[in-house]
Structure 1
């Protein structure tokens, strides 16, 4: 599983030995930094128990050790808007 922007992950010791205390992590992006095979650099936010971001972090983890808690919302297609009418401007009396 390759995480994508918006995914919420449960990161445990299975992902890296640095996570003796598991964290919940919302992905901003997968960084394109050189790594070992099967490892990733992720940029995102550590979340507290209520789902609020408490700190921004970049973490180095094994892809196979990540557990997805919530997937990112599906990308909505761009909607085309109709042309707007020009605004009628009239002089304003001051004083």
Structure 2
């Protein structure tokens, strides 16, 4: 058995046993990117909540200048 890291999207309101719940989320890979969508049946007391990750640094996008062509009227 290996632990997985999941980004929780929502708690589902599906019927469950007392003390359990369904969560919907994305399993995270080693780099923190989503690798699979999962619906998990969990006992909240067994979950380990981590601190939210720091926002990733955004890489500036480079744009190619649009070509401008002369417009001829009439």
- How many residue pairs are counted as aligned between the two chains? 56
- 1:7-57 Cα shifts (integer Å, max 9, x gaps): xxxxxxxxxxxxx21000000000000001111100000001111000001
5+ residue gaps in structure 1?
A: 1-19, 72-93
Bigger share in strand? 1
Among 47, 50, 62, the alignment partner of 2:31 is 50
- Superposed displacement of residue 70, structure 1: 2.4
When normalised by structure 1's length, the TM-score is: 0.53
CA RMSD of aligned residues (A): 1.9
When normalised by structure 2's length, the TM-score is: 0.68
Where do residues 11-90 of structure 1 align in structure 2 (5 Å cutoff)?
Answer: 20-71=1-52
Q: Which has the higher contact order (CA 8 A, sep 6+)?
A: 1
5+ residue gaps in structure 2?
A: 53-72
